[in-house]
Structure 1
Amino acid sequence: MIAKIIEGRSFGGCVGYVLKKDSEIIYANGLRTDSAKTIVQDFNFQRMLNPRLGKAVGHIILSWNTADKDMLNNDIMISSAKRYLSKMGIRHTQCLMVRHHDRKHDHIHIIFNRVNDHGKTISNSNGRYKSFKACKELNAMYGFKQSEGKQNVNRGRLKGNDRTKYQIYDTVKAGIRNSKNWTELQNYIRYKGVEMQFKYRSSSAEIQGISFSKDGQVFRGSAIDRSLSYSQIDKALNGIDNSKELYYTPFTDSPASLSADNSIGKAIGEVASALFSIPDIVPEQEDPLIKKRKKKENYRLKR
Protein backbone atom coordinates (compact mmCIF):
# COMPACT_ATOMS: atom_id res chain seq x y z
CA MET A 1 0.00 0.00 0.00
CA ILE A 2 1.19 3.48 -0.83
CA ALA A 3 -0.40 6.90 -0.27
CA LYS A 4 -0.58 10.12 -2.21
CA ILE A 5 -1.49 13.29 -0.29
CA ILE A 6 -3.28 16.21 -1.93
CA GLU A 7 -4.68 19.43 -0.48
CA GLY A 8 -7.18 21.74 -2.08
CA ARG A 9 -9.68 24.54 -1.62
CA SER A 10 -12.86 23.22 -3.25
CA PHE A 11 -14.90 20.39 -1.77
CA GLY A 12 -17.23 20.62 -4.76
CA GLY A 13 -14.44 19.96 -7.27
CA CYS A 14 -12.90 17.16 -5.22
CA VAL A 15 -16.17 15.34 -4.52
CA GLY A 16 -17.24 15.75 -8.15
CA TYR A 17 -13.99 14.13 -9.31
CA VAL A 18 -14.10 11.24 -6.83
CA LEU A 19 -17.78 10.34 -7.34
CA LYS A 20 -17.44 9.43 -10.99
CA LYS A 21 -18.36 6.35 -12.98
CA ASP A 22 -17.13 3.04 -11.53
CA SER A 23 -16.92 4.52 -8.02
CA GLU A 24 -18.40 3.20 -4.78
CA ILE A 25 -18.85 4.93 -1.43
CA ILE A 26 -17.60 2.44 1.15
CA TYR A 27 -17.49 4.65 4.26
CA ALA A 28 -18.71 8.05 5.43
CA ASN A 29 -18.54 9.88 8.76
CA GLY A 30 -20.46 13.08 9.56
CA LEU A 31 -21.86 13.33 6.05
CA ARG A 32 -25.17 12.76 4.29
CA THR A 33 -24.49 10.54 1.30
CA ASP A 34 -27.78 11.09 -0.54
CA SER A 35 -25.93 12.86 -3.35
CA ALA A 36 -22.75 14.71 -4.21
CA LYS A 37 -24.59 17.94 -3.45
CA THR A 38 -25.45 16.99 0.16
CA ILE A 39 -21.91 15.73 0.77
CA VAL A 40 -20.44 19.06 -0.39
CA GLN A 41 -22.97 21.02 1.67
CA ASP A 42 -22.01 19.15 4.85
CA PHE A 43 -18.29 19.58 4.22
CA ASN A 44 -18.71 23.32 3.65
CA PHE A 45 -20.98 23.76 6.67
CA GLN A 46 -18.27 22.42 9.01
CA ARG A 47 -15.61 24.33 7.12
CA MET A 48 -17.24 27.58 8.26
CA LEU A 49 -16.16 26.80 11.83
CA ASN A 50 -12.71 27.97 10.71
CA PRO A 51 -13.24 30.19 7.63
CA ARG A 52 -9.67 31.52 7.66
CA LEU A 53 -8.26 28.14 6.60
CA GLY A 54 -7.85 28.32 2.82
CA LYS A 55 -6.89 24.74 1.98
CA ALA A 56 -9.50 22.91 4.05
CA VAL A 57 -9.85 19.99 1.64
CA GLY A 58 -7.83 16.91 2.60
CA HIS A 59 -7.52 14.30 -0.16
CA ILE A 60 -5.54 11.07 0.14
CA ILE A 61 -5.31 8.24 -2.36
CA LEU A 62 -4.44 4.81 -0.95
CA SER A 63 -3.31 2.31 -3.58
CA TRP A 64 -2.49 -1.37 -3.29
CA ASN A 65 -0.23 -3.58 -5.36
CA THR A 66 -1.93 -5.82 -7.91
CA ALA A 67 -0.46 -8.79 -6.01
CA ASP A 68 -2.79 -7.92 -3.09
CA LYS A 69 -5.97 -8.11 -5.17
CA ASP A 70 -7.18 -11.47 -3.86
CA MET A 71 -6.90 -10.43 -0.20
CA LEU A 72 -8.68 -7.09 -0.56
CA ASN A 73 -12.32 -6.25 0.08
CA ASN A 74 -14.17 -3.19 1.33
CA ASP A 75 -13.80 -4.13 5.00
CA ILE A 76 -10.02 -4.58 4.72
CA MET A 77 -9.69 -1.28 2.86
CA ILE A 78 -11.78 0.60 5.44
CA SER A 79 -9.89 -0.95 8.34
CA SER A 80 -6.45 -0.13 6.92
CA ALA A 81 -7.59 3.36 5.88
CA LYS A 82 -8.87 4.16 9.39
CA ARG A 83 -5.59 3.00 10.91
CA TYR A 84 -3.70 5.09 8.38
CA LEU A 85 -5.71 8.21 9.25
CA SER A 86 -5.15 7.62 12.96
CA LYS A 87 -1.38 7.34 12.47
CA MET A 88 -1.50 10.59 10.47
CA GLY A 89 -3.29 12.38 13.31
CA ILE A 90 -6.49 12.80 11.27
CA ARG A 91 -9.23 12.25 13.84
CA HIS A 92 -12.60 13.68 14.91
CA THR A 93 -13.54 15.06 11.51
CA GLN A 94 -15.75 14.40 8.52
CA CYS A 95 -14.50 11.70 6.21
CA LEU A 96 -15.55 10.08 2.94
CA MET A 97 -13.98 6.92 1.46
CA VAL A 98 -14.68 6.06 -2.16
CA ARG A 99 -13.42 2.94 -3.95
CA HIS A 100 -12.61 3.10 -7.65
CA HIS A 101 -12.72 0.11 -9.99
CA ASP A 102 -11.22 1.69 -13.12
CA ARG A 103 -7.62 0.55 -12.64
CA LYS A 104 -5.79 -2.76 -12.43
CA HIS A 105 -4.61 -1.86 -8.94
CA ASP A 106 -7.19 -1.38 -6.19
CA HIS A 107 -7.34 2.10 -4.69
CA ILE A 108 -9.58 4.34 -2.63
CA HIS A 109 -9.95 8.09 -2.38
CA ILE A 110 -10.26 9.57 1.10
CA ILE A 111 -11.70 13.07 1.41
CA PHE A 112 -11.58 14.64 4.87
CA ASN A 113 -12.20 18.05 6.36
CA ARG A 114 -9.08 19.73 7.73
CA VAL A 115 -11.43 21.69 9.99
CA ASN A 116 -12.28 19.14 12.66
CA ASP A 117 -15.52 18.72 14.60
CA HIS A 118 -14.35 21.33 17.14
CA GLY A 119 -13.34 23.96 14.57
CA LYS A 120 -9.61 23.26 14.96
CA THR A 121 -7.20 22.86 12.05
CA ILE A 122 -5.80 19.39 11.44
CA SER A 123 -2.05 19.83 11.04
CA ASN A 124 -0.30 18.81 7.82
CA SER A 125 3.20 19.13 9.31
CA ASN A 126 5.65 16.42 8.14
CA GLY A 127 2.78 14.77 6.33
CA ARG A 128 4.82 12.91 3.74
CA TYR A 129 7.26 11.51 6.28
CA LYS A 130 4.44 10.35 8.57
CA SER A 131 2.63 8.86 5.58
CA PHE A 132 5.67 6.85 4.51
CA LYS A 133 6.09 5.51 8.03
CA ALA A 134 2.38 4.69 8.38
CA CYS A 135 2.26 2.79 5.08
CA LYS A 136 5.34 0.79 6.01
CA GLU A 137 3.82 -0.22 9.36
CA LEU A 138 0.44 -1.12 7.84
CA ASN A 139 2.02 -3.16 5.04
CA ALA A 140 3.76 -5.23 7.70
CA MET A 141 0.59 -5.50 9.83
CA TYR A 142 -1.75 -6.61 7.02
CA GLY A 143 0.80 -8.45 4.90
CA PHE A 144 0.41 -6.10 1.94
CA LYS A 145 3.15 -6.18 -0.67
CA GLN A 146 5.67 -3.40 -0.13
CA SER A 147 6.05 -1.03 -3.03
CA GLU A 148 9.20 -1.71 -5.05
CA GLY A 149 9.81 1.96 -5.59
CA LYS A 150 9.39 4.45 -8.39
CA GLN A 151 10.54 2.05 -11.11
CA ASN A 152 7.06 0.52 -11.45
CA VAL A 153 5.14 3.80 -11.62
CA ASN A 154 3.28 4.36 -14.88
CA ARG A 155 4.96 7.56 -16.10
CA GLY A 156 2.42 8.01 -18.89
CA ARG A 157 -0.40 8.71 -16.44
CA LEU A 158 1.45 11.38 -14.48
CA LYS A 159 0.55 15.05 -14.76
CA GLY A 160 1.78 18.41 -13.47
CA ASN A 161 4.23 18.39 -10.57
CA ASP A 162 4.25 14.60 -10.36
CA ARG A 163 5.33 14.27 -13.98
CA THR A 164 8.13 16.81 -13.44
CA LYS A 165 9.30 15.11 -10.24
CA TYR A 166 9.59 11.75 -11.94
CA GLN A 167 11.40 13.28 -14.91
CA ILE A 168 13.93 14.80 -12.50
CA TYR A 169 14.17 11.50 -10.58
CA ASP A 170 14.89 9.48 -13.73
CA THR A 171 17.41 12.05 -15.02
CA VAL A 172 19.37 12.35 -11.76
CA LYS A 173 19.42 8.59 -11.22
CA ALA A 174 20.81 8.07 -14.73
CA GLY A 175 23.31 10.87 -14.10
CA ILE A 176 24.58 9.23 -10.92
CA ARG A 177 25.11 5.94 -12.79
CA ASN A 178 27.08 7.72 -15.50
CA SER A 179 29.10 10.18 -13.41
CA LYS A 180 32.28 9.96 -11.34
CA ASN A 181 31.95 13.25 -9.46
CA TRP A 182 29.65 16.20 -8.84
CA THR A 183 30.80 18.10 -11.92
CA GLU A 184 30.06 15.24 -14.28
CA LEU A 185 26.65 14.80 -12.67
CA GLN A 186 25.92 18.52 -13.03
CA ASN A 187 26.95 18.48 -16.69
CA TYR A 188 24.88 15.37 -17.42
CA ILE A 189 21.61 16.55 -15.89
CA ARG A 190 22.05 20.08 -17.30
CA TYR A 191 22.26 18.56 -20.78
CA LYS A 192 18.96 16.80 -19.99
CA GLY A 193 17.31 20.06 -18.92
CA VAL A 194 17.66 19.74 -15.14
CA GLU A 195 19.57 22.17 -12.92
CA MET A 196 20.76 21.63 -9.36
CA GLN A 197 21.44 24.09 -6.58
CA PHE A 198 23.17 23.57 -3.26
CA LYS A 199 21.85 24.96 -0.01
CA TYR A 200 24.57 26.16 2.35
CA ARG A 201 24.46 26.47 6.09
CA SER A 202 24.27 30.14 7.08
CA SER A 203 27.61 31.98 7.24
CA SER A 204 29.59 28.94 6.12
CA ALA A 205 30.60 26.90 3.08
CA GLU A 206 29.10 23.71 4.53
CA ILE A 207 26.54 22.14 2.19
CA GLN A 208 23.25 21.49 3.95
CA GLY A 209 21.01 20.26 1.14
CA ILE A 210 20.31 20.15 -2.56
CA SER A 211 17.41 21.03 -4.85
CA PHE A 212 16.63 20.37 -8.51
CA SER A 213 14.70 22.44 -11.02
CA LYS A 214 13.10 21.77 -14.38
CA ASP A 215 10.74 23.89 -16.49
CA GLY A 216 10.62 26.54 -13.77
CA GLN A 217 9.62 24.10 -11.01
CA VAL A 218 11.97 23.61 -8.05
CA PHE A 219 11.95 20.62 -5.66
CA ARG A 220 14.16 19.61 -2.75
CA GLY A 221 16.07 16.45 -3.56
CA SER A 222 14.70 14.60 -0.53
CA ALA A 223 11.15 15.67 -1.48
CA ILE A 224 11.54 13.90 -4.83
CA ASP A 225 13.00 10.79 -3.25
CA ARG A 226 15.03 10.01 -0.14
CA SER A 227 17.86 8.73 -2.37
CA LEU A 228 18.22 12.19 -3.92
CA SER A 229 19.26 13.99 -0.75
CA TYR A 230 22.72 15.59 -0.82
CA SER A 231 24.24 13.02 1.54
CA GLN A 232 22.88 10.03 -0.39
CA ILE A 233 24.04 11.34 -3.76
CA ASP A 234 27.47 12.17 -2.31
CA LYS A 235 27.78 8.61 -0.98
CA ALA A 236 26.78 7.18 -4.36
CA LEU A 237 29.29 9.31 -6.26
CA ASN A 238 32.13 8.63 -3.83
CA GLY A 239 31.34 4.94 -4.01
CA ILE A 240 32.03 5.04 -7.76
CA ASP A 241 35.11 7.22 -7.87
CA ASN A 242 36.78 9.86 -5.73
CA SER A 243 37.90 11.98 -8.69
CA LYS A 244 37.95 15.66 -7.73
CA GLU A 245 37.90 17.76 -10.88
CA LEU A 246 35.55 20.70 -10.54
CA TYR A 247 35.17 23.65 -12.84
CA TYR A 248 32.12 25.43 -11.48
CA THR A 249 31.24 27.38 -8.37
CA PRO A 250 29.51 26.86 -6.01
CA PHE A 251 29.76 23.19 -6.99
CA THR A 252 32.32 21.54 -4.71
CA ASP A 253 33.37 18.07 -3.74
CA SER A 254 32.39 16.62 -0.41
CA PRO A 255 33.78 18.50 2.63
CA ALA A 256 35.64 15.42 3.83
CA SER A 257 37.57 14.98 0.59
CA LEU A 258 38.37 18.66 0.41
CA SER A 259 39.78 18.51 3.94
CA ALA A 260 42.06 15.65 2.92
CA ASP A 261 43.25 17.54 -0.17
CA ASN A 262 43.97 20.64 1.94
CA SER A 263 46.06 18.58 4.40
CA ILE A 264 48.19 17.21 1.58
CA GLY A 265 48.65 20.67 0.11
CA LYS A 266 49.66 22.07 3.49
CA ALA A 267 52.27 19.35 3.99
CA ILE A 268 53.77 19.97 0.53
CA GLY A 269 53.85 23.70 1.25
CA GLU A 270 55.76 23.20 4.50
CA VAL A 271 58.40 21.00 2.81
CA ALA A 272 58.84 23.51 -0.01
CA SER A 273 59.20 26.32 2.48
CA ALA A 274 61.93 24.45 4.36
CA LEU A 275 63.89 23.67 1.19
CA PHE A 276 63.67 26.96 -0.65
CA SER A 277 63.14 29.69 1.95
CA ILE A 278 65.77 32.47 2.09
CA PRO A 279 67.16 33.10 5.62
CA ASP A 280 66.83 36.54 7.12
CA ILE A 281 70.07 38.63 6.84
CA VAL A 282 71.23 39.98 10.21
CA PRO A 283 73.45 43.14 9.98
CA GLU A 284 77.03 42.64 11.18
CA GLN A 285 77.64 44.26 14.58
CA GLU A 286 80.33 47.04 14.62
CA ASP A 287 83.33 46.82 17.06
CA PRO A 288 82.61 49.06 20.14
CA LEU A 289 86.15 50.54 20.21
CA ILE A 290 85.99 51.57 16.57
CA LYS A 291 82.58 53.07 17.18
CA LYS A 292 83.97 55.14 20.13
CA ARG A 293 86.94 56.48 18.09
CA LYS A 294 84.61 57.56 15.24
CA LYS A 295 82.48 59.43 17.73
CA LYS A 296 85.49 61.37 19.14
CA GLU A 297 86.77 62.17 15.65
CA ASN A 298 83.39 63.59 14.60
CA TYR A 299 83.29 65.77 17.75
CA ARG A 300 86.79 67.18 17.05
CA LEU A 301 85.94 68.01 13.44
CA LYS A 302 82.81 69.90 14.46
CA ARG A 303 84.84 72.17 16.77
Structure 2
Amino acid sequence: MIGKGKSISHTRASMGYGWNQEKNAEVVFRQHLVGKNPKEVTEEFQRIQEMNHVCERNTLSFVLSPTIDDGQRLKKKELERMTRAFMKRMNLGERQAIAFVHRDKEHTHIHLYVNRIDFKGVAYNDSFIGKRSQKAAEKVAETMEITTVRQVQMEREFNTQELRNEIKRRHELTLHYQKPENYQQYMEGMKANGVEVKPSINRQGQLQGFRFEFQGQSFKGSEINRNMSMANIGRELTRYNAPQKIVSPKNTIKLLDKVVPVPEKLLASLVKKAIRKSIDIGLGI
Protein backbone atom coordinates (compact mmCIF):
# COMPACT_ATOMS: atom_id res chain seq x y z
CA MET A 1 0.00 0.00 0.00
CA ILE A 2 1.18 3.52 -0.84
CA GLY A 3 0.47 6.54 1.36
CA LYS A 4 0.80 10.15 0.23
CA GLY A 5 0.10 13.31 2.20
CA LYS A 6 0.27 17.10 1.94
CA SER A 7 -1.22 20.29 3.35
CA ILE A 8 -3.64 22.20 1.10
CA SER A 9 -5.62 25.42 1.14
CA HIS A 10 -8.21 24.62 -1.57
CA THR A 11 -10.38 22.48 0.70
CA ARG A 12 -13.73 22.68 -1.10
CA ALA A 13 -12.33 22.00 -4.59
CA SER A 14 -10.24 19.09 -3.38
CA MET A 15 -13.08 17.60 -1.36
CA GLY A 16 -15.38 18.01 -4.34
CA TYR A 17 -12.98 15.85 -6.33
CA GLY A 18 -12.90 13.27 -3.55
CA TRP A 19 -16.70 13.19 -3.32
CA ASN A 20 -17.14 12.91 -7.09
CA GLN A 21 -20.07 10.59 -7.81
CA GLU A 22 -18.80 10.02 -11.37
CA LYS A 23 -15.89 8.19 -9.79
CA ASN A 24 -18.28 5.98 -7.81
CA ALA A 25 -17.13 7.77 -4.65
CA GLU A 26 -18.37 6.27 -1.40
CA VAL A 27 -17.85 7.64 2.12
CA VAL A 28 -15.89 5.02 4.08
CA PHE A 29 -14.94 7.10 7.12
CA ARG A 30 -16.37 10.16 8.88
CA GLN A 31 -15.40 11.81 12.16
CA HIS A 32 -16.99 14.84 13.91
CA LEU A 33 -18.90 15.84 10.76
CA VAL A 34 -22.59 15.87 9.73
CA GLY A 35 -22.44 17.59 6.31
CA LYS A 36 -24.05 15.80 3.39
CA ASN A 37 -22.01 17.31 0.54
CA PRO A 38 -18.61 18.96 -0.09
CA LYS A 39 -19.98 22.47 0.51
CA GLU A 40 -21.43 21.62 3.93
CA VAL A 41 -18.38 19.66 5.08
CA THR A 42 -16.05 22.45 3.92
CA GLU A 43 -18.09 24.97 5.93
CA GLU A 44 -17.77 22.75 9.01
CA PHE A 45 -14.00 22.63 8.48
CA GLN A 46 -13.91 26.42 8.09
CA ARG A 47 -15.73 27.10 11.36
CA ILE A 48 -12.91 25.33 13.23
CA GLN A 49 -10.22 26.81 10.99
CA GLU A 50 -11.37 30.32 11.91
CA MET A 51 -9.86 29.66 15.34
CA ASN A 52 -6.40 29.85 13.75
CA HIS A 53 -5.74 32.84 11.47
CA VAL A 54 -2.03 32.06 11.00
CA CYS A 55 -2.22 28.68 9.27
CA GLU A 56 -3.05 29.07 5.56
CA ARG A 57 -2.79 25.47 4.33
CA ASN A 58 -5.24 24.32 6.94
CA THR A 59 -6.48 21.02 5.49
CA LEU A 60 -4.53 17.76 5.29
CA SER A 61 -5.04 15.70 2.14
CA PHE A 62 -4.01 12.03 2.02
CA VAL A 63 -4.24 9.28 -0.57
CA LEU A 64 -4.11 5.64 0.54
CA SER A 65 -3.61 3.27 -2.36
CA PRO A 66 -3.55 -0.51 -1.84
CA THR A 67 -2.23 -2.77 -4.60
CA ILE A 68 -4.72 -3.68 -7.35
CA ASP A 69 -5.33 -7.16 -5.91
CA ASP A 70 -5.76 -5.90 -2.33
CA GLY A 71 -8.02 -3.05 -3.43
CA GLN A 72 -10.37 -5.38 -5.28
CA ARG A 73 -10.91 -7.65 -2.27
CA LEU A 74 -11.09 -5.06 0.53
CA LYS A 75 -14.67 -4.30 1.61
CA LYS A 76 -16.03 -1.03 3.01
CA LYS A 77 -15.52 -2.07 6.67
CA GLU A 78 -11.90 -3.02 5.98
CA LEU A 79 -11.26 0.28 4.21
CA GLU A 80 -12.75 2.10 7.21
CA ARG A 81 -10.47 0.14 9.54
CA MET A 82 -7.50 0.96 7.31
CA THR A 83 -8.33 4.68 7.44
CA ARG A 84 -8.79 4.69 11.23
CA ALA A 85 -5.49 2.85 11.68
CA PHE A 86 -3.74 5.37 9.42
CA MET A 87 -5.21 8.29 11.40
CA LYS A 88 -3.91 6.72 14.60
CA ARG A 89 -0.43 6.11 13.14
CA MET A 90 -0.27 9.75 12.06
CA ASN A 91 -1.31 10.93 15.55
CA LEU A 92 -4.19 12.91 14.08
CA GLY A 93 -6.37 12.36 17.14
CA GLU A 94 -9.83 13.84 17.58
CA ARG A 95 -10.31 16.23 14.69
CA GLN A 96 -12.71 16.53 11.76
CA ALA A 97 -12.05 14.03 8.98
CA ILE A 98 -13.77 12.36 6.04
CA ALA A 99 -12.60 9.72 3.57
CA PHE A 100 -13.93 8.49 0.22
CA VAL A 101 -13.07 5.40 -1.78
CA HIS A 102 -12.78 5.59 -5.58
CA ARG A 103 -13.44 2.36 -7.44
CA ASP A 104 -13.91 3.87 -10.91
CA LYS A 105 -10.58 2.45 -12.04
CA GLU A 106 -8.81 -0.86 -11.60
CA HIS A 107 -6.72 0.69 -8.84
CA THR A 108 -8.94 1.30 -5.78
CA HIS A 109 -7.78 4.21 -3.61
CA ILE A 110 -8.94 6.34 -0.69
CA HIS A 111 -8.98 10.14 -0.48
CA LEU A 112 -8.80 11.26 3.15
CA TYR A 113 -9.29 14.89 4.22
CA VAL A 114 -8.49 15.95 7.77
CA ASN A 115 -8.86 19.36 9.37
CA ARG A 116 -5.34 20.48 10.22
CA ILE A 117 -6.76 22.69 12.98
CA ASP A 118 -7.95 20.84 16.08
CA PHE A 119 -10.78 21.87 18.41
CA LYS A 120 -8.36 24.02 20.45
CA GLY A 121 -7.28 25.99 17.38
CA VAL A 122 -3.85 24.31 17.19
CA ALA A 123 -2.42 23.42 13.78
CA TYR A 124 -1.07 19.93 13.17
CA ASN A 125 2.69 19.83 12.50
CA ASP A 126 3.01 18.87 8.82
CA SER A 127 6.82 18.59 8.71
CA PHE A 128 7.93 15.73 6.41
CA ILE A 129 4.28 14.76 6.04
CA GLY A 130 4.89 12.97 2.75
CA LYS A 131 7.53 10.66 4.21
CA ARG A 132 5.56 10.14 7.43
CA SER A 133 2.46 9.24 5.40
CA GLN A 134 4.33 6.53 3.55
CA LYS A 135 5.78 5.05 6.75
CA ALA A 136 2.37 5.06 8.42
CA ALA A 137 0.80 3.36 5.40
CA GLU A 138 3.55 0.69 5.52
CA LYS A 139 2.81 -0.04 9.19
CA VAL A 140 -0.94 -0.21 8.59
CA ALA A 141 -0.41 -2.59 5.66
CA GLU A 142 1.75 -4.86 7.82
CA THR A 143 -0.86 -4.89 10.60
CA MET A 144 -3.69 -5.70 8.19
CA GLU A 145 -1.55 -8.25 6.36
CA ILE A 146 -1.86 -6.54 2.99
CA THR A 147 0.91 -5.89 0.51
CA THR A 148 3.45 -3.19 1.41
CA VAL A 149 5.40 -1.01 -1.02
CA ARG A 150 8.56 -2.85 0.00
CA GLN A 151 7.05 -6.19 -0.96
CA VAL A 152 5.98 -4.83 -4.34
CA GLN A 153 9.49 -3.48 -4.95
CA MET A 154 11.10 -6.78 -3.95
CA GLU A 155 8.78 -8.71 -6.24
CA ARG A 156 9.56 -6.37 -9.13
CA GLU A 157 13.29 -6.67 -8.43
CA PHE A 158 13.04 -10.45 -8.50
CA ASN A 159 10.90 -10.58 -11.65
CA THR A 160 13.10 -8.20 -13.64
CA GLN A 161 16.58 -9.22 -12.45
CA GLU A 162 17.23 -11.47 -15.45
CA LEU A 163 16.13 -8.73 -17.87
CA ARG A 164 18.42 -6.20 -16.21
CA ASN A 165 21.33 -8.64 -16.31
CA GLU A 166 20.74 -9.22 -20.02
CA ILE A 167 20.65 -5.46 -20.75
CA LYS A 168 23.95 -5.06 -18.89
CA ARG A 169 25.48 -7.92 -20.89
CA ARG A 170 24.45 -6.28 -24.18
CA HIS A 171 25.74 -2.93 -22.91
CA GLU A 172 29.16 -4.48 -22.31
CA LEU A 173 29.14 -6.17 -25.73
CA THR A 174 28.33 -2.84 -27.39
CA LEU A 175 31.21 -1.05 -25.64
CA HIS A 176 33.85 -3.73 -25.97
CA TYR A 177 33.22 -4.96 -29.51
CA GLN A 178 31.67 -2.03 -31.36
CA LYS A 179 33.80 0.61 -29.60
CA PRO A 180 31.37 3.52 -30.20
CA GLU A 181 32.93 6.96 -30.58
CA ASN A 182 30.05 8.90 -29.02
CA TYR A 183 26.65 8.56 -27.38
CA GLN A 184 24.84 8.42 -30.73
CA GLN A 185 26.92 5.45 -31.87
CA TYR A 186 26.42 3.82 -28.50
CA MET A 187 22.63 4.13 -28.87
CA GLU A 188 22.80 2.70 -32.39
CA GLY A 189 24.99 -0.17 -31.19
CA MET A 190 22.58 -1.00 -28.37
CA LYS A 191 19.67 -0.92 -30.83
CA ALA A 192 21.51 -3.36 -33.06
CA ASN A 193 21.83 -5.58 -29.98
CA GLY A 194 18.08 -5.41 -29.31
CA VAL A 195 17.97 -2.70 -26.63
CA GLU A 196 16.29 0.66 -27.28
CA VAL A 197 18.14 3.50 -25.51
CA LYS A 198 16.08 6.67 -25.07
CA PRO A 199 17.51 9.96 -23.79
CA SER A 200 15.89 11.66 -20.79
CA ILE A 201 15.78 15.45 -21.18
CA ASN A 202 15.22 17.70 -18.13
CA ARG A 203 13.22 20.94 -18.00
CA GLN A 204 16.27 22.96 -18.98
CA GLY A 205 16.50 20.93 -22.19
CA GLN A 206 19.69 19.19 -21.03
CA LEU A 207 20.45 15.50 -21.33
CA GLN A 208 20.27 14.00 -17.85
CA GLY A 209 20.38 10.27 -18.52
CA PHE A 210 19.04 7.34 -20.49
CA ARG A 211 16.23 4.82 -20.24
CA PHE A 212 16.73 1.31 -21.55
CA GLU A 213 13.77 -0.51 -23.11
CA PHE A 214 13.95 -4.28 -23.55
CA GLN A 215 11.20 -6.89 -23.97
CA GLY A 216 8.46 -4.49 -22.95
CA GLN A 217 10.22 -3.24 -19.80
CA SER A 218 11.82 0.17 -19.26
CA PHE A 219 14.60 0.93 -16.77
CA LYS A 220 16.78 3.86 -15.81
CA GLY A 221 20.47 3.14 -16.19
CA SER A 222 20.97 3.26 -12.41
CA GLU A 223 18.25 0.61 -11.98
CA ILE A 224 20.29 -1.79 -14.09
CA ASN A 225 23.79 -1.12 -12.83
CA ARG A 226 25.70 1.84 -11.37
CA ASN A 227 28.08 1.68 -14.35
CA MET A 228 25.22 2.48 -16.72
CA SER A 229 24.63 6.08 -15.67
CA MET A 230 25.14 8.73 -18.35
CA ALA A 231 28.45 9.85 -16.82
CA ASN A 232 29.81 6.32 -16.47
CA ILE A 233 28.89 5.46 -20.05
CA GLY A 234 30.68 8.64 -21.13
CA ARG A 235 33.77 7.65 -19.17
CA GLU A 236 33.73 4.25 -20.88
CA LEU A 237 33.59 6.00 -24.26
CA THR A 238 36.80 7.89 -23.40
CA ARG A 239 38.64 4.56 -23.46
CA TYR A 240 38.68 4.86 -27.24
CA ASN A 241 38.07 8.57 -27.87
CA ALA A 242 39.01 12.06 -26.74
CA PRO A 243 36.29 13.84 -24.71
CA GLN A 244 35.87 16.36 -27.57
CA LYS A 245 34.51 13.55 -29.74
CA ILE A 246 31.90 12.75 -27.15
CA VAL A 247 30.93 16.23 -25.96
CA SER A 248 31.66 19.36 -28.01
CA PRO A 249 33.49 22.38 -26.49
CA LYS A 250 30.07 24.06 -26.37
CA ASN A 251 28.86 21.36 -23.98
CA THR A 252 26.52 19.78 -26.51
CA ILE A 253 26.15 16.37 -28.07
CA LYS A 254 24.28 15.22 -31.14
CA LEU A 255 21.50 12.72 -30.49
CA LEU A 256 18.85 11.60 -32.96
CA ASP A 257 19.77 14.46 -35.33
CA LYS A 258 19.33 17.02 -32.53
CA VAL A 259 21.97 19.02 -30.68
CA VAL A 260 21.36 18.57 -26.95
CA PRO A 261 23.11 20.49 -24.12
CA VAL A 262 24.71 18.46 -21.35
CA PRO A 263 25.53 19.45 -17.74
CA GLU A 264 28.97 21.05 -17.36
CA LYS A 265 29.97 18.50 -14.76
CA LEU A 266 29.68 15.73 -17.36
CA LEU A 267 32.34 17.31 -19.61
CA ALA A 268 34.54 17.96 -16.57
CA SER A 269 34.21 14.32 -15.57
CA LEU A 270 35.15 13.08 -19.05
CA VAL A 271 38.15 15.41 -19.29
CA LYS A 272 39.34 14.27 -15.84
CA LYS A 273 39.07 10.64 -16.96
CA ALA A 274 41.02 11.36 -20.17
CA ILE A 275 43.80 13.16 -18.26
CA ARG A 276 44.10 10.29 -15.80
CA LYS A 277 44.31 7.82 -18.71
CA SER A 278 47.07 9.89 -20.37
CA ILE A 279 49.06 9.97 -17.14
CA ASP A 280 48.69 6.21 -16.73
CA ILE A 281 49.92 5.63 -20.29
CA GLY A 282 52.84 8.01 -19.76
CA LEU A 283 53.86 6.13 -16.62
CA GLY A 284 53.54 2.83 -18.41
CA ILE A 285 50.77 1.61 -16.13
Calculate the TM-score normalised by the size of structure 2. 0.57
1:250 to 260, 264, 271: 264
Using the TM superposition, name which of 231-240 and 111-120 deviates more: 231-240
Cα distance, 1:193–1:17 mapped onto 2, change above 3 Å: closer
Work out whether residues 2 and 64 of structure 2, in 8 Å CA contact, stay in contact via their aligned partners in 1.
yes
Contact 1:7–1:55 (CA under 8 A) maintained in structure 2: yes
Inter-CA distance 87–106: structure 2 relative to 1 (3 Å threshold): same
**Residue equivalent to 2:258:** none
Greater Rg by CA: 1
- Classify the secondary structure of the residue corresponding to 2:138: helix
Match of 1:103 in 2: 105
Matches within 5 A, 1:27-106: 27-69=29-71, 71-106=73-108
Cα distance between partner residues in 1 of 2:95 and 2:268: 47
Q: How does 1:231-250 map to 2 (within 5 A)?
A: 235=226, 237=228, 243-245=236-238, 247=247, 248=251, 249-250=263-264
* C-alpha distance in 2 between matches for 1:197 and 1:122: 41
Q: Which runs of 5+ in 2 are unaligned?
A: 157-166, 188-196, 210-218, 239-245, 252-262
Aligned equivalents of 1:238 and 1:94: distance in 2? 47
Give the deviation of 1:112 after TM superposition: 0.8
Matched, 1:189 2:191: no
Task: State how far apart, in whole Å, the 2-side matches of 1:187 and 1:254 are.
Answer: 23
Cα deviation for residue 93 of structure 1 reads: 2.5
Is 1:129 aligned with 2:131? Answer: yes
After superposition, the CA RMSD in angstroms is 4.5
TM-aligned CA deviation for residue 43 of structure 1: 0.2
- Deviations 1:218-245 (Å, cap 9, x if unpaired)? xxxxxxxxx97x9879825169856154
Partner of 1:9: 9
| TM-score calculated relative to the size of structure 1 | 0.54
Distance in 2 separating the partners of 1:188 and 1:2: 29
Separation of aligned partners in 1, 2:81 and 2:227 = 40
Looking at structure 2, the residues matched to 183 and 88 of structure 1 have their Cα atoms a distance apart, in angstroms, of 48
1:143 and 2:134 matched:
no
Deviations along 1:62-81, one digit per CA (max 9) or x if unpaired, are 22223124641222212222
**SS across alignment from 2:34:** coil
Measured against aligned partners, the alpha-carbon deviations of 1:1-43 in whole angstroms (never above 9, x if no partner) come to 2234354322222232222323322222222234443311210
- Over 3 Å counting, the alpha-carbon distance change for 1:20 and 1:233 in structure 2 is same
- In structure 1, give the amino acid aligned to 2:79: M
Task: Indicate if the aligned counterparts of 2:67 and 2:147 stay in contact, CA closer than 8 A.
Answer: yes
Q: Kindly, what percent of the aligned residue pairs are identical?
A: 16
Please tell me whether residue 113 in structure 1 is matched to residue 115 in structure 2.
Answer: yes
The total of aligned residue pairs comes to: 217
1:204 aligned residue = none
Letter in 1 for 2:51: L
Mapped to 1, the partners of 2:29 and 2:76 lie a distance apart of 9
Name the residue aligned to 2:242: none
AA in 2 matched with 1:106: T
